[in-house]
Structure 1
């Protein structure tokens, strides 16, 4: 996630060739990054809640295939493979660091040439125009991830050309940036859909998951680059990708011009140079401050880190933990993004370590002492981060639970019409989770209110998948077990078709009416 902040810093610092600032791209870049950042939260749940059970199901199907040969089993395994592959793509896009690949020097022209060999079967209908200037330029990155990104872009370009056309590939350097431009004469993308490119599962193709361009955007941004897309329907699409020629940061401590009095402790040394610490920390975090909106400005993060530094210097670990818990809750209440807190913690750690280095340079600490100091300092800081994140997430989870409970209460509104009769209007999308809540709350209220008749109106249901249809009408059967008569109204033709396909048949305890009005007129 720290690449996001680095990218935004580059967006604010870098200039166009004519000297004008590139601020116009920053909002678009930020919006795309925000969409991609959300994937990480989705993917973490998917990894455990969806992929693992599917893998288990696939294993059992493979065992069945060993015993029985059936085309249905082959189809099921094939579909499962496709689903698992899609989930894996999502995980790799949201957490690219799962692939332990080192940063190496990459010649983009060579990599593009090698990728074009994969499309030899398309050369008969699509002309390739190469315009490689500054072909010896090098960038640093993860070679396989970048190759996959450019493969997806080239694949999209070929697929966008239905008959014959031209794909132009350019590479050049301007200032401190290397540019790659891929332009096709394909069908183009509608203007209103350009902003959605890179969003997971969005695609303009009849077939496809949309994960290809998501991987492209994610990889380019992870490498400190930017993407600009221009397209006109019937004319074609142009992707312009910009890379910094060097994105690796200098890592290591630096010598500082700080005051030192022989024989003083680190605490005394820190207090003597405290103003310098604040100055260095402010310099490291000035770009982060620009990302904070008005609501976050209510929290004086620099004062907080001053307090944190004092507690760390004085080795007051318990108070530091309590501060982390308090600040985690405050950060969650004020919607301070975790990525900003992480960036500031990273800046704090960097400045603090530089102070330690410059102090112990005077003291002459041996190697064993350096390691002990490093382990202790990092342990305390990591402990702080752990408690901050735990408190932050605990508050957010509690808030979500509270909202969910409110929504649950509103989503199952049983309306008593008399001492023995009630109406349950179901409105909106009915998914599996909500169907379970309908089951739980409806059965409990029927029992507690001693309801003898309940009208379940489905006319306001926007969508109901096959699994939910079956579940809902099992609930209707359960209502009958409590001695309550169920009257179902508003069944639309598509729901009726699903019931027929599933073989759902009502017992004599269930009546159906076309509309809620008809049911009210007959049973009241």
Structure 2
């Protein structure tokens, strides 16, 4: 209330610090009493979890090379999936953040004896030898901004699952975490009791709406690992609110509104660069829980197998329709964005530079393939016509490669320039390009003037 009434820098700072303190206390509570989270032990494929987590770091792949060596990928361990997934996410996040520029992250998975090994190594800045023993200690961090609770959660989770963790690091070389899990853990493995209310005679819609709060509660628990990843990342989406809307529309059979919602959310997700993997995991958790609600309701209602399958097919069809329109909207926006970016790049890659009212230079740099040659043709002829250019210098000294088809295309562009009454001067032809022209039998010198370099052409004509 105070913040709404008064806008003050110190108040904003105090609120931010309070939020940080609450988050830190929450992390500390999770570490000190992990059993407070009512999560069942299930079979977990660590390779699958690692693959899905790597999708969340797609924006880093351009600078970091990922080396994966997954063996015995069908092996499973039994544990709390959300906690383990958050621990692996924290390790991967630390590995990416430890590499300031370019580098490599290596991930290994294999079975040896009665243990599963997961190794995550990076070529980052490393940790000083005298501080290695402090890793995993609450509030110890080597980062400028951090609480040190990420690795604390990692160590706590690994130990809780009967595992061990070993770390090796050297400054300027990198850090490697080796985690060992037992293949069997003696625990009670089961499902969470839904604890739903049921009134005889109620329709499924009435039953579901009566238990909607419980559904949202269970969904938050089922999708906790993804929720944590969203909270710890830049993706600002309100997943509980979105799936609450989906549940209401689905149970009320409002398919058209569900499609509109899917398109809207898909476009918003694309704008915010939310990975499709997050949506898939959330949708999977939603579908699983919704089916459990169907099963709970219809085991109390006299319904034969055929009737139950009809309901199941209809439910899956509606959910698949939602996912289809979500993906279509998401990909449509991304394709439109890519087209826009490519058009901008195309314009920048054909920079016609006017030197005077009648003369211009076209420097071509990089690889000249068939697609780009066509763009050079379209833009060059258009600019010559609109700017009334009488002489144009085409500089090829920066062209790394041209195949035979492109060399022939370039010749036709020069002919087109001549048809517009403009004289073309080509400079910087490399020996390998000249050799290709000779093999193709192109009488280039009869059609256009050539110069050794751009400077020579400018000295003569400008």
TM-score for both structures, normalised by structure 2: 0.60
* Structure 1 Cα separation of the partners of residues 56 and 252 of structure 2: 42
CA distance in 1, matches of 2:238, 2:56: 28
Deviations along 1:222-268, whole A, 9 cap, x unmatched?
xxxxxx9x9xxxxxxxxx9989959xxxxx99873211111112222
Question: For 2:230, which of 292, 316, 319 is the aligned residue?
Answer: 292
| Alignment counterpart, residue 264 of structure 1, candidates 163, 183, 202 | 202
2:259 paired with 1:321: yes
Alpha-carbon distance, 1:410 to partner: 1.2
Q: Could you give the per-residue CA deviations for residues 156-185 of structure 1, whole angstroms, max 9, x where no partner exists?
A: xxxxxxxxxxxxxx97334xx44699xxxx
CA distance in 1, matches of 2:205, 2:273: 34
In the other structure, the counterpart of 2:451 is 513
Shift of 1:308: 0.8
Q: Please give the secondary structure, in 1, of the residue aligned with 2:299.
A: helix
Aligned to 2:11: none
Q: In the TM superposition, what is the alpha-carbon distance from 1:36 to its structure 2 partner? A: 11
Q: Write the deviation string for residues 175-217 of structure 1: whole angstroms up to 9, x where unpaired.
A: xx44699xxxxxxxxx89xxxxxxxxxxxxxxxxxxxxxxxxx
- Corresponding residue of 1:382: 320
Measure how far apart 1:37 and its partner are.
Answer: 8.1
Task: Output the CA distance in 1 between the equivalents of 2:242 and 2:355.
Answer: 57
Pair 1:464-2:404 in alignment: no
Q: Aligned equivalents of 1:35 and 1:255: distance in 2?
A: 31
Structure 1 residue 523: Cα displacement: 2.0
Checking the alignment, whether the CA contact within 8 Å between 1:455 and 1:488 is kept in structure 2 is yes
Deviation at 1:440, TM superposition (A): 1.4
Structural mapping, 1:481-492, within 5 Å:
481-492=419-430
Q: CA RMSD in A?
A: 4.4
The one of 472, 488, 496 aligned to 2:434: 496
Deviation at 1:379, TM superposition (A): 0.9
| Alignment counterpart, residue 173 of structure 1, candidates 106, 113, 118 | 113
- Residues 456 and 277 of structure 1: CA distance in aligned 2, closer, same or farther (over 3 Å): same
Return the alpha-carbon distance in structure 1 between the equivalents of residues 446 and 299 of structure 2: 88
The CA distance in 2 between the partners of 1:287 and 1:171, in whole Å, is: 25
Cα deviation per residue 1:338-380 (whole Å; 9 max; x = unaligned)? Answer: 0110110010000011011111111121122112101111111
Is 1:281 the counterpart of 2:219? The answer is: yes
Distance 2:298 2:242 in 1: 26
Tell me, in whole angstroms, the C-alpha distance in 1 between the residues paired with 2:409 and 2:430. Answer: 17
Could you say if the C-alpha distance between residues 242 and 484 of structure 1 is closer, same or farther in structure 2, counting changes exceeding 3 Å? farther
| Residue 348, structure 1, aligned to residue 286, structure 2 | yes
**Which ranges of structure 1 fall in alignment gaps of 5 or more residues?**
1-12, 14-24, 39-92, 94-105, 109-137, 141-169, 182-190, 193-227, 231-239, 247-251
TM-score, reference length from structure 1? 0.54
Contact 1:454 1:486 in 2 (8 A): yes
Change (3 A) 1:368 1:402: same
Instruction: List alignment gaps of at least 5 residues for structure 2.
Output: 1-30, 32-45, 60-67, 77-109, 125-165, 169-177, 185-189
Measure how far apart 1:429 and its partner are.
Answer: 3.0
Task: Give distance in 2, aligned partners of 1:504 and 1:32.
Answer: 54
Aligned twin of 1:308:
246
Retained in 1: the 8 A contact 2:230–2:237?
no
What count of residue pairs does the alignment treat as equivalent?
A: 328
Work out whether residues 52 and 277 of structure 2, in 8 Å CA contact, stay in contact via their aligned partners in 1: no
Q: Alpha carbons of 1:506 and 1:293: their partners in 2 closer, same or farther (altered >3 Å)?
A: farther
Aligned ranges 1:43-442 → 2 under 5 Å: 139=75, 172-174=112-114, 177-178=115-116, 256-292=194-230, 296-442=234-380
1:28-53 deviation per Cα after TM superposition (whole angstroms, max 9, x unaligned): x6799459989xxxxxxxxxxxxxxx
Q: Distance in 1 between matches of 2:249 and 2:351?
A: 52
CA distance in 2, matches of 1:268, 1:495: 76
